Structure 1
Amino acid sequence: MKNNMSAPKILPWIARKAGISDELALKLWRRAVSEAEHLTGHDSGAEYYGLAVERFLAIVEDEVGGTPAYRLDPAPRISWMWHHQTRMSLLSLMAAQNAYRYWQTTWENMNPAKKAA
């Protein structure tokens, strides 16, 4: 499959926070995209993009973890931000789904004749 995903605009910020070069971050991004494409079998879509970002953050954290012990300022772990954002978006979807189910149940209870038909 052809990979048509460009690097996210936040890539340089992540590179600075992790203490790596933009070039290395781009290389790691391409690796993450390749892995996501292999794992999902797609080169687009929400599942593919989410996995690509997760893999990228994990690869960056692994890369930074391999830095020399004498480095005084360890790079912060940033995958928590992605996981938190994912949880927050899932909560809104769950709330909408629960509201729909409540509305549907209420409607069915108000119109029992349609249920029997």
Structure 2
Amino acid sequence: MNSMNAPKILPWIARKAGISDELALKLWRRAVSEAEYLTGKTEGSAYYGLAVDRFLTIVEDEVGKAPSYNLTPAPQLSWMWRHQTRMSLLSLAATQNAYRYWQNTWEGIYPQKKAA
């Protein structure tokens, strides 16, 4: 994914944050650039996850700097992204633990003979 391939959710985030689509795209490009610099990659889940995380943080910083004329604050979206990431990592950890349990049980039932 390069900086030109912005996520489809970008306009929704822009509306929720109260910024223009053009500014959101500019902030996305900045986030992608930072993610590429930090990961040394331009693709993969670590790169994309960091790009989205950086984008949400940058948007929140930008909204915090802008004068607010409305009474409802812009929603903080990064917590949702981080929570979703944590939940998926917990699911992965649970799967790995289940695999190790069954592997150890299987090896206990059918021990492998050691080669001499």
Residue pair 1:7, 1:26 contacting (<8 A) in 2 also: yes
SS of aligned partner of 1:86: helix
Q: Any stretches of 5+ residues in structure 2 without a counterpart? A: none
Counterparts of 1:59 and 1:105 in 2: how far apart (Å)? 46
Correspondence 1:32-43 to 2 at 5 A: 32-43=31-42
2:45 alignment counterpart:
46
SS of aligned partner of 1:9: coil
Counterparts of 2:87 and 2:4 in 1: how far apart (Å)? 25
Q: Tell me the C-alpha RMSD between the 2 structures.
A: 1.8
Give the letter for the 2:90 counterpart: L
Residue pair 2:16, 2:75 contacting (<8 A) in 1 also: yes
Q: CA deviation at 1:70?
A: 4.7
1:73 alignment counterpart:
72
Using the size of structure 1 for normalisation, the TM-score is 0.90
How many correspondences in the alignment? 115
Correspondence 1:1-117 to 2 at 5 A: 3=2, 6-68=5-67, 70-112=69-111, 114=112, 116-117=114-115
Residue pair 2:17, 2:74 contacting (<8 A) in 1 also: yes
Cα deviations by residue, 1:64-114 (Å, 9 ceiling, x for unpaired): 0002255422211110110111112112211210110011110111123x1
Counterparts of 2:3 and 2:64 in 1: how far apart (Å)? 30
Using the size of structure 2 for normalisation, the TM-score is 0.90
Counterparts of 2:89 and 2:61 in 1: how far apart (Å)? 27
Q: Calculate percent identity across the aligned residue pairs.
A: 77
Residue pair 2:3, 2:28 contacting (<8 A) in 1 also: no
Counterparts of 1:108 and 1:96 in 2: how far apart (Å)? 18
